[in-house]
Amino acid sequence: MRKYGLKFISDEDLFNHTKDTVEKYRFKVNLAQFNKNLIDPIKLTFDSKIYDRNIEDVIENEIARQIDKSNTNHIGYFHQNIFNYIGSDWSVPEKGYDVVNLNNHYYVEMKNKHNTMNSSASQKTYMRMQNTLLNIPDATCMLVEVIAHHSQNITWNISLDGISVSNEKIRRVSIDKFYELVTGDRIAFKSLCEKLPQVIEDVVTKVKLDSQSNTVFAELEKISPHLLKSLYLLSFERYEGFGDFNV
């Protein structure tokens, strides 16, 4: 195995955790998966006509978008679960907070981007942290953002029902500062990022990846040889008048 030379995680743990993430990547899509969150044929029709694209291209773009969304979630797995291997007393519980250090009373909610949560989700997360402090007065709660506005470890200021609220034990922390807290190394996250391309390359040469394929078009053609009609029937087949729907 290649020597990656990161002081805060072993070569084997880094390789295996990266391998776990790579193996979660999505390669195949069938019609049931494609329509899992209910395809909107009207939106796809607008996309086709406004951007002057044929419906096949629009469907391909939607498939790519769905695959990308799934894989983004897997990157969230990478960021969260690496703390099973980094730092003393840090762990990833099966439920509840994303990362915890029960000995030192740290409770972490982790997000990939600073704009991931809307106002309602932010308020819900903050109130959950407030409740944690009520039950564990020595706790420090953190919203850790992988892609934040700045490198920061600051008090999280928020508006709850129009009232500005803050508590120095509820923090908003960028991922580099969190790595520093966990490892004691100011540039630990930067060091990981430098080695990551090598690790992924090593993993990809060792594992057998699925070939990219989807059966969406073949399954749509079984509904109707007209792809756009198939999309409408997929969503609206039981609606009034769609028994003889034509486009």
What integer is the mean pLDDT of 141-169? 93
Give the pairing of strands 213-214 and 28-29. Answer: parallel
For residues 21 and 39, membership in a common domain is answered with yes
Average pLDDT estimate for 32-47: 94
Q: What is the pTM of this model?
A: 0.87
Confidence at residue 235, expressed as pLDDT on a 0 to 100 scale: 93
Q: How confident is the model at residue 208 (pLDDT cuts 50, 70, 90)?
A: confident
pLDDT digit string, tens, across residues 96-109: 999 999 999 999 99
- pLDDT, residue 211, reads 76
Average pLDDT of the chain? 93
Residue 1 confidence (pLDDT) above 90: no
For residue 239, the enclosing domain spans 11-82+207-244
Contact 227, 56 (CB under 8 A): yes
Shared domain for 115 and 78, answered yes or no, is no
- Number of domains within the chain: 2
The pLDDT assigned to 114 comes to 66
